[in-house]
Structure 1
Amino acid sequence: MNTTESWDHPRPHILRVTVEEKHIDLMRHTNNVNYLQWLENVAWDHSEKLGLSPVQYEACGHGLVVRQHELNYLAPTLLGDELLLGTWITLVDKLSLYRAFQYVRASDGKTVFRARTHYVCVDIAQGRVKRMPLEFSTVYSAAAVAAA
């Protein structure tokens, strides 16, 4: 990757994707719905690397759901572009987790997208906001501190 632009965070978790035909829309660039799907993909990939997969969520009966997204599309991406999807946890409290995202085009190092997401912890069975279980808060807080 050309480093003409750098990451907003010193050690993001990175997932690589390549823009495929199925991602392209009428405007001949990546449709914005794909950026949102990739948010979920890279967030789950990061959580799983930290040891919290959907299996652990089910086992403790808690999960994180999106409360708010802030999405900033900075440059179009095209068929064949390789993207580095970066994410990191910025803050964890008793009910919430905050995550930042940055997508960088590998060929020129250009940041093409930035986002921030606020998640809240819920009881899966009841769908109600609940305090984060100790396992979640311990793992995610350590990742936020380690990332700083």
Structure 2
Amino acid sequence: MINWDLPNVHELTVTVPAEAIDVMGHVNNTEYLRFMEQIAWHHTTELGLGWDLYQRLNRGMVARHTEVDYLAPAFEGENLRIGTWIVQNDGRISITRRYQIVRESDSLTLLRGRTRWVCVALDSGKPRRMPVEFLQGYKVTADE
């Protein structure tokens, strides 16, 4: 059983591929960032806010600041459960998303992280207020 840090987790399971392994023999730290982005997109799509809507609205969320605590290594072939939550929405231009990555075999937490995402215009990359669709879709899913 996974001991998630917060309730109402959005989960995704990934199996560590060979190409994620670095010279140290474990998952490279940049791969964890890919896993975090992967679940953020998965959750975004589940919320009905996929790329098609982003393009139609000329708005998107981009990572502004990410903090990661690497707690233990993962290895090729292991199943990892990735969890995410939206823990803040300022109602203007940004949301904060938390992450937890857990090894399925022993339920050990391997990573905790958070990213502040900022709404931008796709055509200029400049910060813009979130449209109504983002305000409604990116609701806080768990309190810290």
* Secondary structure at 2:134 match in 1: helix
TM-score, scaled relative to structure 2 = 0.95
Corresponding residue of 1:91: 88
Pair 1:71-2:73 in alignment: no
Structure 1 stretches of at least 4 aligned residues deviating more than 6 Å after TM superposition: none
Higher helix proportion: 1
Corresponding residue of 1:31: 28
- Number of aligned residue pairs: give it: 142
Corresponding residue of 1:53: 50
Q: Deviations over 1:27-78 (max 9, x none)?
A: 0000111101111100000010110101110110000111100011000001
Unaligned runs of 5+ residues in structure 2 are none
Counterpart residue type for residue 85 of structure 2: W
RMSD: 1.0
Give, in whole Å, the separation in 2 of the partners of 1:84 and 1:75. 14
Pair 1:137-2:127 in alignment: no
Residue identity (%): 43
Give, in whole Å, the separation in 1 of the partners of 2:125 and 2:25. 39
Counterpart residue type for residue 120 of structure 1: V
Offset, 1:147: 3.5
Give, in whole Å, the separation in 2 of the partners of 1:79 and 1:66. 27
Give, in whole Å, the separation in 1 of the partners of 2:43 and 2:4. 17
Give, in whole Å, the separation in 2 of the partners of 1:47 and 1:120. 14
Give, in whole Å, the separation in 2 of the partners of 1:109 and 1:42. 18
Corresponding residue of 1:62: 59
